[in-house]
Amino acid sequence: MTKFLDALRQRTPLSQERLPPGQVLTTKWPVLHYGNVPRVDTRTWTFEVSGLVDRPFTLTHDELLELPRQTVHCDIHCVTRWSRLDNDFQGVPVQLLLARAGVQPKAKFCLVSAEQGFTTNLPLGDLDRPDNLIAVKWSDEWLTPEHGGPARLLVPHLYFWKSAKWVRGLMLLDEDVPGFWEQNGYHMRGDPWKEERYGGRGLSQHDINRLRNLSKKNI
């Protein structure tokens, strides 16, 4: 399998510079997710920044769209081994939201929440970057539900499962709590250039207690 993937990479002139190890180029945008595509009502949709911040806040969908947006030109790399080059996402910079919230010094990690109880985790250093967005458009078109609309996280330097579809919030924490896929064997960070695909540590009893406490805070 590895030899087959390497042969495909060699046929792609840009592969040496832009395709991480083990990835294959595609011009399509495959639709992959766990469970069904949720039906999201933007009239009741909210996005929350909470946890270890000085100024927690909640945005409605209209309020999110009123914030300044930027375009990020990037490549995306899925852990299932496809890569798509030259994507243009438009959305609200994550750094703008973090600055508004006032991240406390003891915050080191983020637990990202999304529809249907989905979560993923990120070190603060991977979250607080200028190329990360709460994306609402792709190539000047509104994100479709299949691709995470009305809003998805964009973290293009990590495997694409970290760019959670149907995102609903960011909770800043002082400890790294594994998200859904990380609990099920995926890597805690997910750097495609290091092939950090698998090796998640799963849930310890401490993690279980932490998630229970976080759930109670969000009721």
What residues contact 20, with CB distance under 8 A and at least 6 apart? 77, 83, 192, 193, 195
Cα 85–Cα 89–Cα 95 angle in degrees, nearest 5: 120
pLDDT tier, 5 (very low <50, low <70, confident <90, very high otherwise): very low
Three-state DSSP class for 44?
coil
Q: Pick the residue with more confidence: 79 or 204?
A: 79
The predicted-structure confidence for 141-157, as pLDDT tens digits, reads as follows: 999 999 999 999 999 99
pLDDT tier, 211 (very low <50, low <70, confident <90, very high otherwise): low
pTM: 0.86
Q: Which segment of 12-26, 51-65, 94-108, 131-145 scores lowest on mean pLDDT?
A: 12-26
Contact indicator for 166, 155 with CB cutoff of 8 Å: no
What is the per-residue pLDDT for 28?
86
Q: Which of these, 37, 36, 147, 146, lies nearest to 87 by C-alpha position?
A: 147
Homologous superfamily assigned to 21-27+41-175: Oxidoreductase, molybdopterin-binding domain (3.90.420.10)
Q: Looking at residue 5, what DSSP letter applies?
A: H
What is the per-residue pLDDT for 71?
98
